[in-house]
Amino acid sequence: MPEEIRDLIEKINQEGIKAAEEKANIIEFEARQRADAILSQAQAEADRIIAAADQRIRLEEKRERALLAQAGRDLLLSLRQEINAMLGRIVVSDIREALTPELLSRLLSEIIRNYPTMERGNIIISLKKNDLDLLEQQYLQKLQLEAARGITLQPGEEIQGGFTISFDSGKSCYDFTDKALAGYIISYLKPKLKRILEGSIEE
């Protein structure tokens, strides 16, 4: 009888150990499955983060390239504007320097001689005060003889060089001021200047 009890106890122990081992194997299997799922999820999340970061980097690089291109265009436009403004200042300055009272007299004499004589109104010449005084003192009489009609000299408040001239008592006038002459010259020079700038940029 005691042997039967020992055999029974041993059998129970063996079955318990076997059940415990099976349970341990199941727990280990489930743990590995959960670990694999966590690793797989972590890898997918890492891939998503890397892809999103790559996309942001590409978008940022594209944005930076666009900003650099826009900055280049803005700089070129600013440079052109500055060069045009500088050109305008140089041309106006040179014209003012060149338009001495003597040259003004020759220009006026040439214009008056070549203007059609149909108009019989008074000739009105507007120019800056300093030029007006010198022209009046030294050249007015000669101009009146050439015109064979009255000439009125008057100061032009906004004229810094050159003159305007009217052959119909001020109803209309021709603009030969420094700014108008500079405008004609600059409009001629601008296409050439543009080609020079574009050529230098391409190089």
Q: How far apart are CA 150 and CA 170, in angstroms?
A: 13
Does 64 reside within a domain?
yes
Does 88 reside within a domain?
no
Global pTM exceeds 0.75 = no
* Same domain (yes/no): 124, 185: yes
* pLDDT score recorded for residue 203: 46
For residue 108, the domain's CATH number is 3.30.2320.30
Interior/surface letters 143-170, b for 16+ CB within 10 angstroms, e for the rest: beeebeeebebeebeebebbbbbbbeee
Residues of the chain with pLDDT under 70: 1-13, 15-16, 19-20, 117-121, 194, 196-203
Number of domains into which the chain is organized = 2
pLDDT tens digit sequence for 104-113: 888 888 888 8
Does 147 reside within a domain?
yes
* Same domain (yes/no): 69, 107: no
Does 42 reside within a domain?
yes
Does 92 reside within a domain?
no
* pLDDT score recorded for residue 138: 81
Does 94 reside within a domain?
no
pLDDT tens digit sequence for 9-39: 666 667 667 766 777 778 777 778 887 788 7
Residue 174: phi and psi, rounded to 5, are -105, 135
* Same domain (yes/no): 104, 50: no
Does 80 reside within a domain?
no
* pLDDT score recorded for residue 200: 52
* Same domain (yes/no): 12, 56: yes
* Same domain (yes/no): 68, 103: no
Range of the domain at 156: 99-190
